[in-house]
Amino acid sequence: MATVALVGTQWGDEGKGKIIDILAAKADMVVRAQGGNNAGHTVVNGGKTYKLRLVPSGILYENCDCIIAGGVVVDPKALLGELKDLTDKGVKIDRLRIDERAHVILPYHLKLDALSEKARGKGDIGTTGRGIGPCYTDRAERSGIRMYDFVHPEVFKAKLSERVKVKNEIIVKVYGEEPLNADEIFKEYSEYSAILKKYVTDTSVLVYDAVKSGKSVLLEGAQGTLLDLGYGTYPYVTSSHPISGGFCVGAGIGPTAIDECIGVAKAYTTRVGKGPFPTELDDEVGERIRRVGAEFGTVTGRPRRCGWLDAVILRLAVRLNGLTSLSLNKLDTLSGIDELKVCVAYECDGKRVEHFPADIDELAKCKPIYESVKGWSEDISGAKKFEDLPENAQKYIKYVEKQIGCRISIIGVGPDRTQSIYR
């Protein structure tokens, strides 16, 4: 394995955690380049289930260096909670490093996330409420507090007091809420910074050195292509760039450093949060997929909206990320459905649309054009090779490959890492 980027191709929760864990076993370094603890990656390893949010999945392997790079937003309190959960489970965390440039999520970001969602009323985005958007806003506005500032108490204190003053103006005057107290925040958060200081460094140098010396580096994607700030279903997106190009900016490496780009998709489609979703099913099939696939959010526990596989979305993901192959997960969830549908294009105002529209009002008008594929009734959760799959399941895989123009190299038939078929 050289440098591999692993990217979500739908609206997140595609089962990236499982695939990252499989690849991390062979990696020297795993790097998170974007997002924050809005991510929830489930890893089922050695009979234990881990729910990782901010910490790269490589942490479960003793020889793997783990990097939280400069493009990530870090909630120190949440990170320390996650590290404690890991150490309680016997996981060693000394190989973790956090970039000096990563921005820090502070209490006013959490507060403003909640207040702006409330103010949007029915038009709310359905964020995870983790302060992600407000923190990235400060970064773009050039008023954020970075890890470097955070671990230098004098700098942190000065910047925090100035920031809280400005944020309180908004909290009080725009939203009519109680102001925050900078001294109290400083007192609490300087304890966190004292613990985290030893992990903070310039990780872009570490990543570069690893790539240059031919080590196996895995860029662990969070969220998914349709949640990308630029190319996703704006404004129902996250505030970072979860596409492969975003990993270069986030990790601080050039595009030529990436050798392979593996996409992760479910054999159907889900999304949490608001926004248009052309293949969404409001019937018993959708309900069945949610029940059988246990489609409830890892971070917030919200029921995920479920629908048929959308090849228009996957073609977009192949194009935007430069995918070299795809892992199609949760094929087992579709067992027992007689007739499977795949959306191959949309119909909008009487015209056939082949490419995912840029605008969500246009997307909302799009009706899926489906093709039907025969299902299978067998339990496939024990299949080890492609040939173990029922004929119709094999046909489904080949059909999807043809529709999206990308090779399917891994097929998921259950949550455990051993429940994966390699082709």
Catalytic residue positions? 13, 41
- What is the three-class DSSP state of 377? coil
Q: Does 13 bind ligand GDP (CB under 6 A)?
A: yes
Residue with smaller CB distance to ligand GDP, 14 or 28: 14
**What is the enclosing helix (H) or strand (E) of 332?**
none
Selected from 3, 5, 13, 138, the binder of ligand IMO by CB under 6 A is: 13
Q: Does 298 bind ligand GDP (CB under 6 A)?
A: yes
The partner in contact with residue 127, picked from ligand IMO, ligand GDP, Mg ion, none with C-beta cut-offs of 5 to 8 angstroms by kind, is: ligand IMO
Q: Does 39 bind ligand IMO (CB under 6 A)?
A: yes
Q: Does 321 bind ligand GDP (CB under 6 A)?
A: no
Q: Which residue is nearest to ligand GDP (CB)?
A: 412
Size of the site for ligand GDP (CB under 6 A): 21
Site stretch for ligand GDP (CB under 6 A), options 7-15, 88-96, 152-160, 177-185: 7-15
Q: Does 331 bind ligand IMO (CB under 6 A)?
A: no
Selected from 133, 245, 246, 415, the binder of ligand GDP by CB under 6 A is: 415
Q: Which residue is nearest to ligand IMO (CB)?
A: 273
Q: Does 329 bind ligand GDP (CB under 6 A)?
A: yes
Residue with smaller CB distance to ligand GDP, 245 or 263: 263
Site stretch for ligand GDP (CB under 6 A), options 41-49, 150-158, 241-249, 353-361: 41-49
How big, in percent rounded to 5, are the helix, strand and coil portions of the chain? 40, 20, 40
Question: In degrees to the nearest 10, what's the CA dihedral of 23, 26, 27, 28?
Answer: 170
- What is the three-class DSSP state of 123? helix
Q: How far apart are the C-alpha atoms of 276 and 352, rounded to whole Å?
A: 18
Buried/exposed 184-219: b ≥16 CB within 10 Å, e otherwise: ebbeebeebbeebeebbeebbebbbebbeeebbbbb
Please say whether the beta carbons of 220 and 23 come within 8 A: no
Residue with smaller CB distance to Mg ion, 40 or 357: 40
Please say whether the beta carbons of 37 and 130 come within 8 A: yes
Please say whether the beta carbons of 406 and 318 come within 8 A: yes
Q: How far apart are the C-alpha atoms of 330 and 251, rounded to whole Å?
A: 29
Q: Report which of 274, 382, 392, 300 is spatially closest to residue 339, judged by C-alpha positions.
A: 392
Long-range contacts of the stretch 148-151 (C-beta < 8 A, 24+): 148/100, 148/101, 148/200, 149/104, 150/76, 150/104, 150/189, 150/193, 150/196, 150/200, 151/193, 151/196, 151/197, 151/200
- What is the three-class DSSP state of 224? coil
The partner in contact with residue 128, picked from Mg ion, ligand IMO, ligand GDP, none with C-beta cut-offs of 5 to 8 angstroms by kind, is: ligand IMO
Backbone angles phi, psi at 169, to 5 degrees: -55, -45
Q: Does 333 bind ligand GDP (CB under 6 A)?
A: yes
Q: Does 134 bind ligand IMO (CB under 6 A)?
A: no
Q: How far apart are the C-alpha atoms of 61 and 57, rounded to whole Å?
A: 8
Positions 203 through 242 that interact with ligand IMO (CB under 6 A)? 222-224, 227, 236, 238-239
Q: Does 329 bind Mg ion (CB under 5 A)?
A: no
Residue with smaller CB distance to ligand IMO, 32 or 146: 32
**What is the enclosing helix (H) or strand (E) of 104?**
strand 103-104
Selected from 7, 14, 150, 243, the binder of ligand GDP by CB under 6 A is: 14
- What is the three-class DSSP state of 346? strand
Selected from 200, 312, 413, 421, the binder of ligand GDP by CB under 6 A is: 413
Q: One symbol per residue from 369 to 398: x for binding Mg ion (CB under 5 A), - otherwise; what is it? A: ------------------------------
- What's the closest the beta carbon of residue 110 comes to ligand GDP, in angstroms? 21
Q: How far apart are the C-alpha atoms of 168 and 155, rounded to whole Å?
A: 20
Footprint of ligand IMO on this chain (CB under 6 A)?
8, 11-13, 38-41, 125-128, 130, 132-133, 222-224, 227, 236, 238-239, 272-273, 298
Q: Which residues bind Mg ion (CB under 5 A)?
A: 13, 40, 298
Footprint on this chain of ligand GDP (rule: CB under 6 A):
8, 12-18, 40-42, 44, 298, 329-330, 332-333, 412-415
